[in-house]
């Protein structure tokens, strides 16, 4: 009993002090981290228990010197079989229900946010929320939606809690293409390769893909959403910690998938206003930057169209590799 108490306390302490996840930087991160810590507690306890029993059995029941007898003919133990089958089943069911509740709270059961067909998109009074035909009697989906004045459902987007207002504070259109992310701010016309958002404000991302499947992932926000060609998906979050965080494509999308990275910059309200003003001022009204123009500019530098030499040259320079570095190598190593 004392061993069980000690094991439980150790697992609980370790799960709360594991430091395995990156800094939590969004309002959703706490719920995801709680689920992770619960799973880690159970997994660690089972690991220590099973391995402890194996080590104890290996030492306690090892063959002694000079012992040539056979072991007892034990063919099975029905109560033990029931025990070690039922306990994992209960644990898995509990984790499934817990994760299902968190996924539901974050809008994961909203079919519009999860990749359903969008009927219309409105950047007016509804803050850029996707408008879709009214859902049926599905209470799980209805719980995540509000109705506009015409009785149409407003899809919040994955990452939006049930209690959040339908309108986001900031809407950003996201285009994924091989191998970059392009961000367009509909309200100001800003087009950027870097996502800037204000801290403590609800942000709605309307995500599309130009060519193949991509996945928009911000580890510090604990959120990920697919970018699907010909179909819009949504992602909602509220950043809580200022800083710069990586945006990673988590879907194998081609030869240079590993290089498809960008950054989200969580600014203070003052810094965000300054950035926005500088970007608006940089746009020449006579030659306004559009998504099409930004995409065309990127294609000129697209790794897909570059030779291996041109693509690798900047990395070689950073590592101090020059042509002289290869002079001492045998000739066949250079091919």
Question: pLDDT of 209-244, one tens digit each?
Answer: 988 999 999 999 999 999 999 888 888 899 999 999
71 domain-assigned: no
Bigger pLDDT: 136 vs 264: 264
CATH number for the domain that contains residue 294 = 2.60.40.420
The answer to whether residues 89 and 181 belong to one domain is: no
Question: pLDDT of 15-67, one tens digit each?
Answer: 888 888 889 999 888 889 999 999 999 988 889 888 988 999 999 988 888 88
Query: What are the backbone angles phi and psi of residue 248, rounded to the nearest 5°?
Result: -120, 140
Domain that holds residue 271: 170-298
Question: pLDDT of 168-209, one tens digit each?
Answer: 889 999 999 988 999 999 988 889 889 999 999 999 999 999
Confidence tier at 3 by pLDDT (50, 70, 90)? confident
Q: What percent of the chain has pLDDT over 70?
A: 67
Please tell me the total count of domains within the chain: 2
Query: CA 77, CA 223: separation in Å to the nearest integer?
Result: 45
308 domain-assigned: no
pTM confidence score: 0.65
332 domain-assigned: no
117 domain-assigned: no
112 domain-assigned: no
The answer to whether residues 84 and 174 belong to one domain is: no
Query: CA 86, CA 40: separation in Å to the nearest integer?
Result: 20
The answer to whether residues 176 and 293 belong to one domain is: yes
47 domain-assigned: yes
Name 177's Cβ contacts closer than 8 Å, sequence gap at least 6: 209, 210, 211, 214, 295, 298
Q: For residue 310, what is the enclosing H or E element?
A: helix 308-318
113 domain-assigned: no
* pLDDT score, position 147: 44
Integer CA distances (angstroms), 134 to 107, 205, 259, in order: 16, 22, 40
pLDDT of 153 over the 50 cut: no
* pLDDT score, position 269: 92
305 domain-assigned: no
Partner residues linked to 177 by β-bridges: 180
pLDDT of 288 over the 60 cut: no
Average pLDDT over residues 125-141: 35
């Amino acid at each position: 009993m004392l061993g069980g108490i000690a094991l439980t306390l150790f697992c609980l302490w370790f799960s709360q002090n594991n430091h395995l996840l990156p800094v939590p930087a969004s309002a959703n991160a706490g719920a995801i981290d709680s689920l992770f810590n619960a799973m880690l507690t159970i997994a660690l306890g089972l690991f220590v228990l099973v391995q402890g029993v194996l080590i104890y059995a290996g030492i306690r029941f090892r063959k002694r010197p000079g012992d040539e007898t056979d072991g007892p003919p034990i063919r099975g133990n029905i109560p033990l079989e029931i025990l070690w089958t039922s306990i994992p089943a209960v644990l898995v069911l509990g984790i499934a229900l817990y994760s299902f509740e968190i996924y539901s709270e974050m809008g994961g059961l909203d079919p519009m946010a999860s990749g359903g067909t969008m009927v219309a998109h409105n950047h007016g009074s509804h803050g850029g929320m996707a408008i879709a035909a009214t859902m049926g009697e599905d209470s799980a989906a209805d719980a995540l939606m509000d109705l506009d004045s015409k009785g149409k459902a407003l899809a919040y987007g994955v990452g939006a809690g049930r209690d959040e207002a339908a309108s986001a504070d900031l809407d950003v259109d996201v285009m994924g293409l091989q191998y970059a992310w392009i961000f367009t701010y509909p309200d100001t016309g800003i087009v950027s390769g870097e996502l800037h958002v204000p801290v403590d404000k609800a942000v709605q991302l309307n995500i599309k893909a130009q060519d193949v499947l991509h996945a928009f992932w911000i580890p510090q926000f604990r959120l990920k959403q697919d970018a699907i060609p010909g179909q819009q998906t949504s992602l909602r979050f509220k950043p809580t910690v200022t800083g710069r965080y990586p945006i990673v494509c988590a879907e194998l999308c081609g030869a240079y998938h590993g290089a498809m990275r960008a950054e989200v910059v969580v600014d203070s309200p003052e810094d965000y206003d300054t950035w926005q003003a500088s970007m608006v001022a940089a746009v020449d009204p006579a030659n306004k930057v559009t998504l099409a123009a930004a995409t065309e500019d990127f294609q000129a530098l697209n790794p897909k169209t570059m030779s291996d030499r041109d693509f690798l040259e900047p990395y070689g320079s950073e590592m101090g590799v020059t042509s002289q570095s290869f002079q001492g190598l045998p000739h066949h190593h250079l091919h």
